[in-house]
Amino acid sequence: MEDARSSTGGCLCGAVRYEAFGNRRNSLLCHCRMCQRASGAPFLALFFVESDKLKVTQGELRVYRFSARADRLLCADCGSPLFLQRHNQSHTRGIFVGSLDDPNSFRPELHVCVSSSMSWLDINDDAPRYPEKPEGMTPTLNYDPVTGEAEVRDG
């Protein structure tokens, strides 16, 4: 499903502001351990837009390389996570839903990596659920929560 709309958002301290235009793609909730650790939450909600449709209108970003495959872009002042950038897909950028001015405009299209979801979590939507990631998405990484190391899973 694609959703054409304008979105605005920013970081916790207000230093960074952004605008995104165009179609939202792959609106998802990721339940993998890496996203849980990176967000400090039971899952991470995000969607993707074309990179040229996302403009930082105020403030500076800091890039944090969190795996061999992707970077997280954070507010340089407060460290709030705002965006995900895959190294091999510079034409798209993920936007973390918690950074939106109106996060209620987000509806997940799918849940990925539910094999790692919290046993007490009960989300009552009708979005499809996948134990890992469905075909066509980047493979799930093995993540070691003690060392923070991540590598592509075999098989």
Q: What is the three-class DSSP state of 133?
A: coil
The CATH number covering residue 17 comes to: 3.90.1590.10
- Number of domains the chain is built from: 1
Distance between first and last Cα of the chain = 29
Q: Quick one: pLDDT at residue 50?
A: 96
Q: Over 50: is that where the pLDDT of 2 sits?
A: no
Which range among 44-48, 116-120, 135-139 shows the weakest confidence by mean pLDDT? 135-139
- What is the largest distance, in Å, between two alpha-carbon atoms of the chain? 43
Q: How many CB atoms lie within 10 A of CB 63?
A: 12
Domain that holds residue 80: 3-152
Contact at 8 Å (CB) between 72 and 96? no
Is this model's pTM higher than 0.85 or not? yes
Of residues 39, 124, 49, the one with CA closest to residue 81: 39
Alpha helices in 4-138 (DSSP H): 33-39
